[in-house]
Every structure is written in structure tokens, then in C-alpha cells.
Amino acid sequence: MIAETGLAALWLAAAMAMLQLVGGLTLLRGEGKLTPLIKPAALVQGALCVVSFASLMWLFYVTDLSVLLVASNSHIDKPLIFKLAGTWGNHEGSMLLWVSVLSLSGAAIALLEKRIDTRTLNATLAVQAFVALGFFAFLLFSSNPFERLVPAPVEGAGLNPLLQDIGLAFHPPTLYIGYVGLSVAFSFAVAAMLTRQVGPAFARAMRPWVLGAWIFLTVGITAGSYWAYYELGWGGWWFWDPVENASLMPWLAATALLHSVSVLATRNALRAWTIMLALVAFAMSMAGTFLVRSGILTSVHAFAVDPERGSFILALMLMYTSLAFLVFATRIGTVKQGEPFQIVSREGGIVANNIFLSVILAIVLIGTLYPLAAEAMGDKISVGPPYFNKATAPIALLLMVALLLGPMLRWRRDDLKRHKYWLVGFFAISLWTGVAIWRFVPGVGIFPILGLALSLALAVAAWVPLKGRKLLRTPLPVFGMVIAHFGLAVSVFGMAAESGFSRETLTALAPGESAKVADWQVKLDDVRPVVGDNWVAIEGQLIARKGGKKFTLRPQSRQFYRPEQQTSEAALLTRWNGQLYAVIAQPDENGDGRWQVRLWWKPFVTFIWFGGLLVALGGAIALLGRMFRRPKKPAVNKWARA
């Protein structure tokens, strides 16, 4: 009965979404008879989706193998945490999570949003329902997560071993909250165009939702990068894989939107630009969902390969974005330009920042989709790190220069001469750092040198907005901005250091033999078999020595049987200035008792993820400040007349 209850709740939730949409349509026609039902329908829809998703989780918890989805993605011997994670580690479960978060977002808007007029609020809920209906249709007619299986199997097929990791158990929900959070910005933007309410009040209402989605996307991307680093066993933190790019593209658009909506909320400028970015950000999140769930592109994360159902998502994406941009094209003439500003101003800096982010987004989008277009024309090519690194690195460095200067500038207009001492100081820091690395560390590429030089300057510049302020009276969003920009500098420092100074050793060792990587001496002490809950492995015991100290690492090569797959479990030794990374593989082909061992020394690599978490922390602090900040009545009245 649990499966039937979950399915019934899903049908009823879809009915509530239809009622919500019809109520919104009658409102736009000026009738409004069903308007009072919009908010209750949104709340009931959210509650029903919770019931449906909880039902699916229970089915995975008890391993009900009479349900096709459970039988295909779980196993009676799997650890409990991965049984639960199996709920969203597949097509149907992940899309049910998608629509559940979407519905809960609508319910939260209905319950909490007080900053926009009732008509725009109801129109926003109607657009949210329109988006949700497409995903309800996808689940009910194409990907039913509660479909029964007769007869039920005895054991179940199991979950992809790469997904049986505690990091990846929580990574997809985090990303999905970010993806779906951008649907709220999309709904706000379309509703504001339909009701002709594009202005600061709309921006102030939309900003916390964009900020919340951006925080979850940041955490999700950071966690996903670290998972790929330690779980895939290849020692890299970003492969420019299509699925990785699928999460990066909405983050780039959301970052530009976050800055743009702040300008609209506080200075009443960039109205059309903000609307367009809201549409693009959601289009990118839909594109990401399509790439991840269609399997149409080859990926190391290809956990779902189903082009037929991927076409359904593609059709939804085209329908939503086409209709939204049609509204944009027809209503953009009614959107006033807003307050003017000069190029040298805070607004000018944010526009430059957004242009660089948009260029990077375009480069990533083209590189990700180009193999698909080439294959459609009969060619088979792949676009990898050499293209992405060379194309994005120069733009990313220009973006850092914009970040150095932008936060120091005044709103509306400014004069660079006012900041000449800071500019000279930043230039001196960058020049000294670059020359020192070039002079004393030969063989480092130009981009790592520039990245290190600019990251140090940005780390200093990030704190400049606090100069001269009374810290106890400084708004939390200012602290959030400072910490986020400092976190970005830390992250870029880690990327540049890892790219420029990493050392690698690939060797074959017999027990008792040693190898060297950077300043580390590593000996293979022993190799032994070990047994886990649903796997067996060979485990190497490595003794690493440096400066008279001794450390033990235990990398594993695991063999899973349900489904059958081999994985490498890297061993990491973390020090303040980097990580020693070790992987053991199968016995050497020569049959002389040696084992393949791969070692890396990665200077400051942990700064990449520490910086990412700082960026997310800055966003969280800014969000708290926005949520609990008292509105300034004079400012509200001033911009409301615009």
C-alpha cells in the first residue's frame, strides 16, 4: 500500500498544481474567481509531494523489491545509508526529488513571501505550478517511481558502487535544491513581466531565493569536486566532464544574477539584464538536468543513460525557455531602463563582472554541446580540459581584476584616482609574487603564476570594503560579500598552486620497496585482502616518511559484485600545505610480485574546497542579513515611484 499511497499523492499533487495554474490564468484575465485558492493549492501540493517522496524513501528503507525502482537500484545487503541514498540515485527518484523541492519552494513562497503585491505573488505561484506540471507529467506518464514488479526478485540489482559513498549520498540533493531554487527566480521574473512590476520591490523579493539557490549550488559543486577527487582515483579535482559542466553553468548564471538583482534592489538599475539572467539561469539548470539524466553525452558520471526519457526533459526545457523568452520579447518594451550610472562606478564593476561570467558560461556551454552537434553531423570528437583551460583561464583572470576594483567603487559614479594607492598596492603584490615564482620555481606555466599573483592581491582587496566602517554596525551582507570574495581568492590560490606545483610518480613496488614523490619517501609495507559490507578489496599499507616523521596510508582496490564493478579507494594524507595522494591497482603484468602504485603530492590542494566553503559561508551570512534586515522605508518609497 505504501507504493500506491505515494503514487496517489503524486496524482493529487499534480491536480493541485493544475488548480494553482488555472487560478493564476483567471487572475491574469481579470476575473480572479479562483484566486483565493492559489495559496492553499500551493501548500497542499507541497505537503502531498512530501508524502510521495517519504513513501519512496520508506520503500528503499525496507528494500521492497516488489517495486521496480527499488529492485533496480538496491540490494538486501547494502548498508542502510546507501539504501536511502538509492532513493535519488536514479532517474525516477531524482526527478521525484526535483518536483518535491519545486513544490515545497512554491509552498514556501505562498507561506512566507510578503514583499511583493498580491497579484504578482499569485502570478509567481501560477508560473511555479506551470513548471511543476511538466515534471508531474514526466513522472506520471514516463517515469513512474512506484511501478510494481511481478514477480519480485530475491536480492535486487544494487546501486552503482561509485554512488556508494557518503559524500555522493548528500551531493545530489544539495545540487537539486540549487537547481530548483533557480526556478523560483524564473517564476518571479516571468510573473513580474506579466504584471508589469519589474522594479526594486520585485528584486528585493527575489534576491533571497537566488541567494539560497546559489549557496546550495556552491556547496554542491564544491562537494562534487572533492568527491571526484578522492573517489574516482585519478587525482584530479575538475575534469571538465559534461556532468560537471552541467552544474557549473547554472552557478555561473546564478552568480551573475545575484550581483545584478542586488543592483536592481538597491539602485533601481539593470532591470532588463536582471530579468534575462533569471531566465538564463533556470534554462541552464534545466540543461544541466537534461545532460545528467539523458545520458546523451559520454561522462565519467554517466549514472543514467536513457535518451528517450531525456528527450522528454529536453522538450520541457525548450517549452519553458521559449515561452519565457517570448514573454521577455513582448514585454521588454514596458520595462523602464532604470537609474543611469557611469562606467567607473559600482554598477559598472558589476556589469563587467557579469560580462566576464557570461563569456565563461558561453565557452563552457559551447564546449559541452559541440561534441553533440558534431556527432549529429557525422563527426565524433571530444572537447576536453585543453580547450576549457585555455579558453576560460584568461577570462577568469580578467574577472579577478574586476573583483579587485569593483567593491571599492562608489555607486553611480567614481574616480579611479581616488583609489590610486590601493591600485598601486595591488599591482605591487601581484608583480612581486609573479616575479618571485618565475625566478625561483622554474617550469611553472603562465596561468598558474598569474592565478597565484592575482589571488594574493584579491585576498587583500576582499577586506578593503570594511575599511573605515564601524564593524558592529556593518550590515551582515557586507561581511558576506567580503568573506565570499576572500573565499574565491583562497580557492583560486589552491587551483593555481595545484596546477603549477603538483608532482606525480607512477611505479610498481614489491613489499619492502620504496618510491619518491616530491619530498616524500613512500614504502610499500604490505598488501592484504579486506572484506566490507558488500565488497572485497586488496589493501596496500604504505609508509610515508618526511623530515623524520612517519605516516601510514591504506589505499584499496575494491571489487563489488551487485552490480559487478571495480573501484579505487584513494588514501589521503592531509598536511597544512597539501595532500599526499596514493592509489593502488592490480598486480603488475610481469608477474614478479609487484603492485602498481600511483603517488601525487598536491601543494595547497585543500584550499580549493576550503575556499569554496568560505564562498558558501559568505552567501549564508548575506542571506541571514537579508532575512532579518529591517526595510528602510524612505528608500522603498523613493524607488517605488520610479
Reported confidence tier of residue 267, pLDDT bands at 50, 70, 90? confident
Closest CA to 58 of 597, 525, 50: 50
pLDDT of 590 > 80? The answer is no
pLDDT of 181 > 70? The answer is yes
Reported confidence tier of residue 295, pLDDT bands at 50, 70, 90? low
Return the percentage of the chain with pLDDT > 90, whole number.
56
Task: State the pLDDT at residue 468.
Answer: 86
CA distances (Å), 347 to each of 267, 352, 521, in order? 9, 9, 53
pLDDT of 634 > 50? The answer is no
Chain centre to alpha carbon of residue 540: 34
What's the CA gap between 630 and 628, in Å, rounded? 6
Helix or strand (DSSP H, E) at 33: none
What's the CA gap between 46 and 129, in Å, rounded? 11
Reported confidence tier of residue 116, pLDDT bands at 50, 70, 90? confident
- SS3 state at 528: strand
Q: How does DSSP classify residue 573?
A: E
CB 570 within 8 A of CB 230: yes
Reported confidence tier of residue 70, pLDDT bands at 50, 70, 90? very high
Closest CA to 597 of 522, 530, 546, 497: 522
From 16-20, 31-35, 611-615, the region with the lowest mean pLDDT: 31-35
Q: What is the mean pLDDT of residues 539-543?
A: 95
What's the CA gap between 578 and 204, in Å, rounded? 42
pLDDT of 516 > 90? The answer is yes
Task: State the pLDDT at residue 161.
Answer: 76
Which residues neighbour 556 within 8 Å (Cβ) at sequence distance 6 or greater?
Answer: 530, 537, 538, 539, 540, 568, 569, 571, 584
- SS3 state at 481: helix
Cell of 304: 543514467
For residue range 572-583, list pLDDT tens digits in order: 999 999 999 999
Which residues neighbour 188 within 8 Å (Cβ) at sequence distance 6 or greater?
Answer: 124, 202, 205, 206, 209, 278
Q: What is the mean pLDDT of residues 584-594?
A: 78
Task: State the pLDDT at residue 642.
Answer: 34
Which residues neighbour 280 within 8 Å (Cβ) at sequence distance 6 or greater?
Answer: 253, 257, 361
CB 597 within 8 A of CB 235: no
Reported confidence tier of residue 297, pLDDT bands at 50, 70, 90? low
Alpha helices in 385-529 (DSSP H): 385-405, 420-440, 446-461, 476-501
pLDDT of 301 > 80? The answer is no
Reported confidence tier of residue 171, pLDDT bands at 50, 70, 90? confident
What's the CA gap between 424 and 409, in Å, rounded? 16
pLDDT of 157 > 80? The answer is no
Q: How does DSSP classify residue 285?
A: H
Higher pLDDT, 269 or 17: 17
Task: State the pLDDT at residue 110.
Answer: 93
Reported confidence tier of residue 298, pLDDT bands at 50, 70, 90? low
For the chain, list the domains and their CATH numbers. Answer: 1-159 (1.20.120), 165-262+269-321+346-398 (no CATH), 399-501+612-626 (no CATH), 504-605 (no CATH)
Task: State the pLDDT at residue 125.
Answer: 94
Task: State the pLDDT at residue 637.
Answer: 42
Q: How many helices (H) and strands (E) does the chain have?
A: 18, 10
CB 185 within 8 A of CB 278: yes
Task: State the pLDDT at residue 303.
Answer: 52
Give me the DSSP letters along 337-386. --S---SSSHHHHHHHHHHHHHHHHHHHHHHHHHHHHHHHTT------HH
**HSE-up (13 A, CA, CB side) for residue 170:** 7
Task: State the pLDDT at residue 341.
Answer: 87
Task: State the pLDDT at residue 641.
Answer: 39
What's the CA gap between 402 and 406, in Å, rounded? 6
Highest mean pLDDT among 84-93, 190-199, 255-264: 255-264
- SS3 state at 596: strand
What's the CA gap between 524 and 574, in Å, rounded? 19
Q: What is the mean pLDDT of residues 28-56?
A: 89
CA distances (Å), 617 to each of 229, 279, 487, in order? 22, 26, 9
- SS3 state at 553: strand
Cell of 441: 620555481
pLDDT of 48 > 90? The answer is yes
Average pLDDT score, the chain: 88
**HSE-up (13 A, CA, CB side) for residue 604:** 17
Reported confidence tier of residue 547, pLDDT bands at 50, 70, 90? confident
